[in-house]
Amino acid sequence: MLDLIAQRRGTLGPAERRVADWVLEHPRRAARMRLAELAAASGSSEPTVIRFCRRFGLRGFRDFAPRMTEALSRPATYVHHHVQPDDAPVDAATKVVDASIQALFAIRAQVASMPVQAVVDALARARQIVFAGLGASGHVAADASHKFFRLGLPCTALTDSPSILQYAAIAEPGDVFLVTSHSGRWAELARAAATAGERGACTVALTEPGTPLADAARFLLPCHAPEDTNVYTPMSSRLAQLALLDALQVALALAMGDAAVDRLRRSKDALQRG
């Protein structure tokens, strides 16, 4: 959380930046403060603080305090080790796994402030669920489709731009359109989400907060994972997305009750025979 604030500090306007600076300098105090207090202390106004919170994927200032206390009480033991060119294969491998663990910790800390309940409700009522993603995120989408399908829900995975845009154009109310992206910067994904949303579908973005895609979707599951810049593929963030979708599926299964659990058990038993 604090990392994220520090990182995105530069993209903020002057007033919001004052808030960011104050929070970064007095994180523990900020966690215990009221909205009006923080606004006064940082020399800005209440709506500015709220907008500041929203920019980081929070629903409002109500989620700020819990989120901060969680971030502050998180064990800081797992410091990120960058992979060095002269690392032995085993050491490099260990560091990569460490980075993944780190990413999951980050996700864990954020889960509490995500609109999980709202998304689960939408999924439970969905006429169909459409997962979309390009490149590596396409694999995430395919995996998710394969996973939610076992709950007995109509699922599809779309992994190329034409299909995604075509679907968005024919989306209907009752559909849930879940778009996955590491960077959130592909224009066509944001456009597809916007279109589907206008047509009445429930759009969910699984991506970095503050990006076009994140803004275009109705619900945002923020997925910010600190990547090792020496590694040129978004690995840990993809892992975080998968873990989050796993979590979503389990939450959905619980919400759907016995019928869903029964379907899962049956689909598992079907494999056991093989």
Partner DNA sequence: GTCCAGCATGTAGGAAAATTACAGAAATAT
Partner DNA sequence: ATATTTCTGTAATTTTCCTACATGCTGGAC
Residues lying near DNA in the complex (CB under 7 A) are found at 12-17, 34-36, 43-48, 50-51, 53, 59-63
Query: Which region among 43-51, 87-95, 170-178, 211-219 touches a copy of itself (by CB under 8 A)?
Result: 87-95
Q: Sign of the CA dihedral 248, 251, 256, 258?
A: positive
User: Running DSSP on this structure, what letter comes out for residue 28?
Assistant: H
Which of the choices a copy of itself, DNA, none does residue 194 contact, using the CB cut-off of 5 to 8 A by kind? none
Query: Which region among 6-14, 116-124, 192-200, 208-216 touches a copy of itself (by CB under 8 A)?
Result: 116-124
Which of the choices DNA, a copy of itself, none does residue 48 contact, using the CB cut-off of 5 to 8 A by kind? DNA
- Measured in residues, the chain has a length of 274
Measured CA to CA, the distance from residue 243 to residue 237 in angstroms comes to 10
- Cβ count near 199 (within 10 Å): 16
Which of the choices DNA, a copy of itself, none does residue 47 contact, using the CB cut-off of 5 to 8 A by kind? DNA
Q: Which residue has the tokens 């864990």?
A: 108
Say which amino acid occupies 206.
Answer: L
Shorter beta-carbon distance to a copy of itself: residue 48 or 102: 102
Shorter beta-carbon distance to DNA: residue 48 or 159: 48
- CB 202, min distance to a copy of itself, A: 16
- CB 60, min distance to DNA, A: 2
What CA dihedral angle connects 15, 19, 21 and 25, to 10 degrees?
160
Tokens coding 99:
């980075």
